[in-house]
């Protein structure tokens, strides 16, 4: 079969319908706080058991990509990441919505998600086998350094007070340690409480730290939730396309970052979004406006997190190692269907794989009209619903969404308490973002550090373990660059000014 | 559309430039870090305590640096900042407290009342707290009914479609 045959196979009416239905269902589920992309795929997986493998994959891929995009709605309109992948979308998306540009932010997020999704799928199509080798080259120490690299974002998230950002990140890292230790199974920081035994669930903490403070302030005043302009501006597609074209390098770079992070098993969309945001901020001439409603920030996060969909499928299909948590669910569904993943999948079951990749591209393209329409509806709903209905609805959704993650009432209580903590510390100049960053990266950093330490100690070469591996060194260099780039740029500017004066 | 960001005062500063709230928060964080350090002494495996111990120690160092910085820095111009007191004064504190109670109370009562009753109570209480418009006859009927429909809709979606085992409550078993 040729490539064109696979394309026609993907374009059957059934597959187009499945792709559209998957994108719509995924977008709606992803937009609800607490319902992650993993849950969206897991919940809808049983539907695929009776389907052809390629059609099943198309549906699951469409749900996954739709859910990642759907997370942007609540991030932009409610300051609550619908999925962890949309954490960094809140940084600029919510300030945009607050100043009356929520519709523009949603359209921009949709375009960026489509571009990111297409670039991720392009990598999956063209470079899957060689890129899968990259995933194998990442050991515990590389994950540790990747987490450290992620932590350098604190300087970007601290809103002018690095010390408070560092304290917040330490608090987040300590929160990540609560519960049963992953490696040694010691019980840590529960102080005898059964509620804390299960640890702090990341999504619950996200909802608490970002959404509850907004609810607390919403209920306190009769002011409108978002600024609303009297005239209807429609989708603001032309405006968003112009911004996207101007930020094309940001889009491409963020999508490549998203794909590469997606390839790394366990890293996921949240880290991809944060790293892409950090890089966009670092390289932007408007870096001072990041965190205050800069469209480039939304572009970077949304393109990166959707690129992880294609990226995550690379190790899943080539190696049988899921790149992201939803990939693990999809892998399980494929096994039930009798499809064996591995390097031979591309040659022996080419019709399944290439039909799926075309289907994923189709679903991503369909996300543009579907996402714009659903986004417009979500925006209109949020700005027109009376406050007396909006606040209790969102509060109830946070409670039921948080409960559903682990079927735990403790998580609901922890979410509300963390929300109150988040509200107070926000008033005292501590941003919630470094805490969330610490919470997400804490487990990766600790696991990588302890494993690398154990391996290094066993081989009596700790220095070589941490500082002697090529990929580690590259990440360390990026970390140092990320930390000291503002100083280096300042120095260059000063040198340039002196030379010009001479 | 790109709009220039407005100069925003740094949260947490009080008039006169002394970041009292930040300093007090740092002290609270030091206490938390000390509690964490104390808890690590009960751990037997070094794999368990090395990482949190290092983080807690770093947190104490950062907090001390913040306190020293706040105490020693020159006072910034009065009136250029917004303190926590002014944030609290903007808006109704009883409603803020009410929201937390309206969420936390039903959540804690959930093992007895079940998710549905807790959800209805929380929804109703928060609706009352968030209501600033006059309760007209139409609103008295439409809002509670719409609220009930939303709670029942989500409850059905999660329990029947997504098969999430929402707690029924000891009272209803």
User: Hey, are the CB atoms on B11 and A428 less than 8 Å from each other?
Assistant: yes
On whether the CB atoms of residues A184 and A467 are closer than 8 A, the answer is no
Is the CB of A4 inside 8 Å of chain B's CB atoms? no
Cα–Cα distance measured from residue A442 to residue B45, given in angstroms and rounded to the nearest whole number: 18
User: Hey, are the CB atoms on A171 and B29 less than 8 Å from each other?
Assistant: yes
Confidence of residue A257 (pLDDT cuts 50, 70, 90): very high
Map out the domains of chain B as residue ranges: 20-87, 91-172
Mean of pLDDT values over B145-153: 95
Mean of pLDDT values over A246-266: 88
Confidence of residue B102 (pLDDT cuts 50, 70, 90): very high
Residue A64 has pLDDT above 90, yes or no: no
Angle between helices A162-177 and B20-40 (to 10 degrees): 30
H or E, element range at A180:
strand A179-180
What percent of chain A stands above pLDDT 70?
93
> What local confidence, expressed as pLDDT, does residue B2 receive?
40
Point out the least confidently predicted range of A86-95, A148-157, A308-317, A413-422. Answer: A148-157
Of A405 and A244, the structure prediction assigns the larger pLDDT to A244
**What does pLDDT average to over chain A?**
84
Please give the model's pTM, rounded to 2 decimal places: 0.80
Is the CB of B50 inside 8 Å of chain A's CB atoms? yes
Residue A47 has pLDDT above 90, yes or no: no
On whether the CB atoms of residues A89 and A81 are closer than 8 A, the answer is yes
Is the CB of B173 inside 8 Å of chain A's CB atoms? no
> What local confidence, expressed as pLDDT, does residue B116 receive?
95
- Tens digits of per-residue pLDDT, A401-443? 889 888 899 999 999 999 999 999 888 888 888 888 888 888 8
Is the CB of A445 inside 8 Å of chain B's CB atoms? yes
Mean of pLDDT values over A286-292: 84
Q: Measured between beta carbons, which residues in chain B are less than 8 angstroms from residue A189?
A: 36, 39, 52
Residue B85 has pLDDT above 80, yes or no: no
Q: A456 is written with which tokens? A: 């290094």
Cα–Cα distance measured from residue A370 to residue A362, given in angstroms and rounded to the nearest whole number: 12
Confidence of residue A369 (pLDDT cuts 50, 70, 90): very high
Of B6, B111, B143, the CB nearest to A409: B111
> What local confidence, expressed as pLDDT, does residue A443 receive?
81
> What local confidence, expressed as pLDDT, does residue A336 receive?
77
CA dihedral defined by A270, A271, A277, A278, rounded to 10 degrees?
150
Cα–Cα distance measured from residue A374 to residue A351, given in angstroms and rounded to the nearest whole number: 33
Map out the domains of chain A as residue ranges: 3-490
On whether the CB atoms of residues B113 and A237 are closer than 8 A, the answer is no
- Tens digits of per-residue pLDDT, A460-497? 788 888 888 888 898 888 888 777 766 676 677 777 76
User: Hey, are the CB atoms on B2 and A99 less than 8 Å from each other?
Assistant: no
Residue B9 has pLDDT above 50, yes or no: no
Residue B13 has pLDDT above 60, yes or no: no
Give Cα A407 distance to the centre of its chain.
23
User: Hey, are the CB atoms on B126 and A160 less than 8 Å from each other?
Assistant: no
> What local confidence, expressed as pLDDT, does residue A307 receive?
93
Confidence of residue B81 (pLDDT cuts 50, 70, 90): very low
DSSP chain B: ---PPPP-PPBT--TTS--HHHHHHHHHHHHHHHHHHHHHTT---HHHHHHHHHHHHHHHHHHHHHHHHHHHSPPPPTTS-B-HHHHHHSS-HHHHHHHHHHHHHHHHHHHHHHHHHHHHHHHHHHHHHH--S---HHHHHHHHHHHHHHHHHHHHIIIIIS-------GGG-
Backbone angles phi and psi of A221, in degrees to 5 = -130, 155
Backbone angles phi and psi of A187, in degrees to 5 = -90, 125
Mean of pLDDT values over B55-73: 90
- Tens digits of per-residue pLDDT, A77-127? 888 887 778 888 998 999 998 888 888 999 999 999 999 999 999 988 887
> What local confidence, expressed as pLDDT, does residue B5 receive?
39
Cα–Cα distance measured from residue B25 to residue A137, given in angstroms and rounded to the nearest whole number: 43
3-state class (DSSP) for residue A262? helix
* A400–chain B nearest CA distance, Å: 8
Is the CB of B7 inside 8 Å of chain A's CB atoms? no
> What local confidence, expressed as pLDDT, does residue B88 receive?
54
Cα–Cα distance measured from residue A467 to residue A462, given in angstroms and rounded to the nearest whole number: 8
> What local confidence, expressed as pLDDT, does residue A93 receive?
92
Q: Which of residues 68-107 of B touch A (CB under 8 A)?
A: 69, 84, 87-88, 90-93, 95-96, 98-100, 102-104, 107
Cα–Cα distance measured from residue B88 to residue A424, given in angstroms and rounded to the nearest whole number: 10
């Amino acid at each position: 079969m040729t490539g064109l045959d696979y394309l026609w196979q993907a374009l059957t009416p059934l597959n187009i319908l499945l792709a559209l239905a998957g994108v719509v269902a995924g977008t709606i589920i992803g937009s609800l706080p607490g319902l992650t992309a993993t849950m969206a795929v897991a919940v809808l997986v049983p539907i695929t058991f009776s389907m052809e493998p390629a059609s099943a994959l198309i549906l699951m891929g469409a749900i996954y990509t739709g859910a990642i995009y759907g997370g942007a709605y609540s991030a932009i309109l409610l300051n609550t990441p619908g999925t962890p992948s949309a954490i960094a979308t809140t940084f600029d998306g919510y300030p945009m919505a607050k100043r009356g540009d929520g519709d523009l932010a949603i359209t921009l997020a949709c375009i960026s998600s489509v571009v990111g999704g297409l670039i991720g799928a392009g990598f999956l199509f063209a470079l899957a086998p060689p890129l899968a080798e990259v995933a194998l080259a990442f050991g515990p120490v590389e994950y540790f350094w990747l987490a450290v690299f992620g932590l350098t974002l604190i300087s970007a998230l601290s809103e002018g007070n690095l010390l408070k950002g560092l304290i917040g990140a330490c608090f987040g890292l300590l929160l990540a340690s609560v519960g049963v230790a992953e490696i040694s199974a010691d019980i840590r920081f529960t102080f005898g409480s059964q509620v804390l035994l299960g640890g702090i669930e990341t999504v619950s903490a996200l909802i608490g730290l970002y959404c509850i403070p907004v609810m607390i302030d919403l209920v306190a005043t009769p002011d409108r939730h978002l600024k609303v302009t009297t005239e209807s501006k429609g989708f603001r597609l032309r405006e968003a396309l112009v911004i996207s074209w101007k930020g094309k390098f940001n889009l491409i770079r963020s999508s490549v970052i998203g794909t590469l992070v997606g390839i790394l098993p366990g890293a996921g969309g949240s880290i991809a979004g944060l790293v892409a945001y950090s890089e966009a901020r670092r390289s932007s001439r408007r870096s001072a406006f990041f965190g205050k409603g800069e469209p480039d920030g939304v572009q970077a996060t949304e393109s990166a997190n959707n690129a992880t969909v294609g990226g995550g499928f690379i190790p899943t299909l080539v190696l049988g190692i899921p790149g992201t948590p939803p990939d693990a669910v999809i892998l399980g569904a494929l096994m039930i269907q009798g499809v064996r993943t591995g390097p031979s999948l591309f040659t022996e079951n080419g019709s399944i794989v290439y039909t799926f990749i075309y289907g994923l591209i189709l679903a991503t393209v369909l996300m543009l009209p579907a996402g714009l329409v659903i986004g417009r509806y979500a925006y209109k709903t949020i700005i027109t619903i009376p406050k007396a209905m909006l606040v209790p609805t969102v509060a109830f959704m946070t409670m039921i969404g948080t409960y559903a993650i682990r079927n735990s009432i403790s998580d609901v209580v922890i979410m509300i308490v963390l929300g109150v903590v988040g509200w107070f510390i926000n008033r005292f100049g501590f941003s919630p973002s470094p805490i969330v960053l610490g919470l997400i990266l804490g487990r990766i950093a600790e696991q990588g550090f302890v494993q690398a330490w154990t391996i290094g100690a066993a081989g009596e070469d700790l220095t070589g373990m941490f500082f002697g591996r090529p990929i580690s060194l590259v990440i360390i260099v990026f970390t140092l660059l990320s930390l000291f780039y503002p100083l280096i740029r300042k120095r260059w500017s000063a040198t340039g000014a002196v030379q010009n004066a001479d | 559309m790109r709009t220039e960001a407005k100069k925003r005062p740094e949260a947490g500063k009080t008039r006169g430039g002394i970041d009292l709230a930040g300093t007090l928060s740092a002290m609270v964080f030091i206490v938390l870090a000390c509690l964490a350090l104390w808890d690590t002494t009960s751990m037997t495996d070094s794999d368990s305590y090395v990482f949190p111990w290092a983080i807690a120690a770093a947190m104490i160092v950062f907090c001390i640096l913040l306190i020293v910085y706040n105490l020693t820095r020159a006072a910034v111009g009065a009136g250029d900042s917004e303190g926590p007191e002014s944030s609290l004064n903007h808006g109704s504190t009883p409603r803020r407290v009410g929201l937390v109670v309206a969420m936390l109370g039903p959540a804690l009562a959930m093992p007895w009342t079940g998710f549905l009753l807790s959800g209805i109570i929380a929804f109703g209480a928060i609706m009352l707290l968030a209501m600033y418009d006059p309760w007209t006859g139409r609103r008295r009927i439409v809002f509670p009914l719409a609220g009930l429909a939303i709670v029942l809709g989500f409850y059905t979606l999660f329990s029947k479609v997504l098969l999430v085992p929402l707690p029924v409550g000891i009272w209803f078993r």
